Chains A and B, each alone.
Chain A
Amino acid sequence: MTCIGEPVSWLALERAALGESDGAVAAHLAACAACRDCLDRLRADVVVLPPLRVEAVRPRARWWRFGIAGLGAALAAAVLAIVLIPPGDHGRPDQVAAERVAHVKGVGDVVVGVVRDRAGAIAEDATVFRAGDRWKVVVTCAAPADAWLDVAVVDDTGAAYPVAAAHVACGNRVVVPGAFELTGARPNRVCAIAAAGAPPPRGTLPDDAACITIRPE
């Protein structure tokens, strides 16, 4: 697909994607399928940005004013925790974490995460979905390994593979290319399937898939 004339610049396309109106750009987009396709790709793309943290200079804490009260409160909380939480009842957070980690031969531990784009609001590792949300899968595995990654979305009806398998270099929260939407009224398990050397086969979800469960809102 080629442009009918002079392509609309990426800056103009980004401004259009942000909702800025420009008559000439709008007219070109109405007539040019190639540039419209570029705009659609911009809109579909999900970029995961690290948080922008402001390192505020903290005033000197006058801790002694609160020290005794704070110590008392902490002690009370510790006593309550010992009394109220039965021994061994620490399973739930660990189970959640365990589901998200897979040990893959030739790659090592693979931890799956997700990024939700809800009308421009980015949430990391969100666990609820709504129609129209865009999702990306991120994976953490130890460098310098590399891995083939595929994404499966599993619900009652079976597994779907919404993005193409990709070969990535391991690192922290490496983004698997491609984004997808979740639909339906039932929970979905979003799973990262990793393999060394070749794309993992599709069909049956392997035991070593790392999954995160996302429920309808």
Chain B
Amino acid sequence: MLDAQAAYRSFGPALVRKAERVLRSRDDATDIVHALFVDLLPKWNADMDLPYLYRAVTNRCLNALRDRATRARLLARDGTAVAPAGRVKLDDAVVGTALIAQLADSLDDAHLEVLVCRFVDDMTQDEIAAHLKVSRKTVGKRLDRIRDAVVALRGAA
């Protein structure tokens, strides 16, 4: 088992790249990963492997996008992120920070997590099911609900 410092050195870069794909800002991504490890240090345990930390980073990124001030700042920035965007598209569109931020107002955490897994982290439905410890059917239903929310957003625009 890696201790927290070793895990930070080993997994930190992967987690920063993951957060950067959501937020499109390496500085904010680095802050999120650093803050996560600072919080986890006192309660570090063997369960905190890369997939666990990946989920934790997803949740922190979503919290950042829910915060209106952070969201406005992120969306106002130029897209200068080093990390590439997700390759899996939703209705032929790349899911970017702006769309996730908009959906954060209409979808709950469970759906947003599936959204990030599928369209930012490019996981298959089977991978998402294993990653989130839910059934594949549940993942499929959540993806349907996400598509409905996107259609509703586009209809409202």
Q: Interface size (B, Cβ < 8 Å)?
A: 37
Within 8 A of B (CB), among A26-48: 38, 41-42, 45-48
Residues of B within 8 A of A121 (CB): 9
A217 CB within 8 Å of chain B: no
**Chain A residue at minimum C-beta to C-beta distance from B125:** A6
Q: Are the CB atoms of B8 and A17 closer together than 8 Å?
A: no
Q: A45-B82, A52-B5 are in contact. Are A11 and B131 (CB under 8 A)?
A: yes
Q: How would residues 122 to 133 of chain B score, 1 for a CB under 8 Å from any chain A CB and 0 otherwise? A: 111001000100
- Specify the main secondary structure of chain B where it touches its partner: helix
Q: Are the CB atoms of B30 and A48 closer together than 8 Å?
A: yes
Within 8 A of A (CB), among B33-78: 33-34, 37-38, 41, 50-51, 54, 78
Question: Nearest Cβ in chain B — how far from A91, in angstroms?
Answer: 36
A131 CB within 8 Å of chain B: no
Q: Interface size (A, Cβ < 8 Å)?
A: 32
Q: What is the CA–CA distance of A168 and B77 in the complex, to the nearest angstrom?
A: 11
Q: Are the CB atoms of B5 and A42 closer together than 8 Å?
A: no
Q: Are the CB atoms of B127 and A9 closer together than 8 Å?
A: yes
A54 CB within 8 Å of chain B: yes
A175 CB within 8 Å of chain B: yes
Q: Which of B12-20, B90-98, B105-113, B143-151 contacts A (4 or more CB under 8 A)?
A: B12-20
B87 CB within 8 Å of chain A: yes
A162 CB within 8 Å of chain B: no
Residues of B within 8 A of A49 (CB): 8-9, 12-13, 16, 30, 33-34
Q: A49-B33, A52-B34, A52-B41 are in contact. Are A7 and B14 (CB under 8 A)?
A: no
Cβ 8 A contact of A18, one of B8, B14, B27: B14
Cβ 8 A contact of B127, one of A12, A17, A175: A12
20 contacts between A and B (CB under 8 A): A6-B124, A9-B122, A9-B127, A10-B17, A10-B18, A10-B21, A10-B86, A11-B50, A11-B51, A17-B14, A18-B50, A45-B17, A48-B30, A49-B9, A49-B34, A50-B34, A52-B4, A52-B37, A52-B38, A168-B80
Give the 10 A-B CB pairs with smallest separation, nearest first: A47-B13, A14-B14, A9-B123, A7-B87, A47-B16, A9-B122, A49-B12, A52-B8, A7-B122, A10-B121
B residues neighboring A (CB under 8 Å): 4-5, 8-14, 16-18, 21, 26-27, 30, 33-34, 37-38, 41, 50-51, 54, 78, 80, 82, 84, 86-88, 121-124, 127, 131
A49-B16, A52-B37, A167-B78 given; 14 more Cβ-contact pairs under 8 Å: A7-B122, A10-B17, A11-B50, A14-B50, A18-B50, A38-B87, A41-B84, A46-B13, A49-B8, A50-B34, A52-B5, A52-B34, A52-B38, A167-B80
